[in-house]
């Protein structure tokens, strides 16, 4: 989570919301990919940290199935990111802060564990939520109108 937090800290430099993500290998010892939000930096509406980290991990492994891998992210994934998590076959999602307005991994929705879907990763929430929440709070309090 500390690596994801380090990514999140860099996002506001481009005007992006401070969210960071890391994908770990199946054995949990190798970082396959890391990313931060880049929507403002790239003008890409899909430029969420989770999407970018998943894309980069797939490129690093040479396959779209990330079976056995873990996504670590500083904010609960939204519906778009939750869909990508399910589609990429990640085994586990670990997140820090919950997102009561758009979270899709247990708070507002629980898309990643929906029994109607063919893949349901394990979800671990509340890992280092205070620093992740502090980054988000500071960003939104200091952001312009």
The per-residue DSSP string of 46-109 comes to T--HHHHHHHHHHHHHTSS--TT-EEEEEE---HHHHHHHHHHT-SEEEEEE--TTT-TBTTS-
In this structure, the number of other CB atoms found within 10 A of the CB of residue 114 comes to 13
Annotated binding residue at 81? yes
In this structure, the number of other CB atoms found within 10 A of the CB of residue 37 comes to 28
Tell me if residue 134 falls in helix, strand or coil.
helix
50 given a catalytic annotation: yes
Annotated binding residue at 69? no
Annotated binding residue at 78? yes
- ∠ CA 71-143-52, rounded to 5°: 25
Choose, from 40, 50, 76, 122, the residue flagged as catalytic. 50
Return binding residues for Zn(2+).
48, 78, 81
Return binding residues.
48, 78, 81
User: Which residues are known catalytic residues?
Assistant: 50
């Amino acid at each position: 989570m500390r690596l994801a937090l380090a990514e999140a800290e860099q996002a506001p430099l481009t005007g992006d919301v401070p969210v960071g993500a890391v994908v770990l290998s199946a054995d949990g010892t190798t970082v396959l990919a890391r990313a931060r939000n880049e929507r403002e930096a790239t003008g890409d509406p899909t430029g969420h940290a989770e999407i970018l980290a998943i894309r980069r991990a797939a490129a690093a492994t040479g396959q779209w199935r990330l079976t056995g891998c873990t996504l670590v992210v500083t904010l609960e994934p939204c519906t778009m990111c939750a869909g990508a998590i399910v589609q990429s076959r990640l085994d586990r999602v670990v997140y820090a802060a919950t997102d009561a307005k758009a979270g899709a991994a247990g708070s507002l929705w629980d898309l990643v564990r929906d029994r109607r879907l063919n893949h349901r990763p394990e979800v671990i929430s509340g890992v280092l939520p205070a620093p992740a929440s502090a980054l988000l709070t500071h960003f939104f309090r200091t952001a312009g109108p």
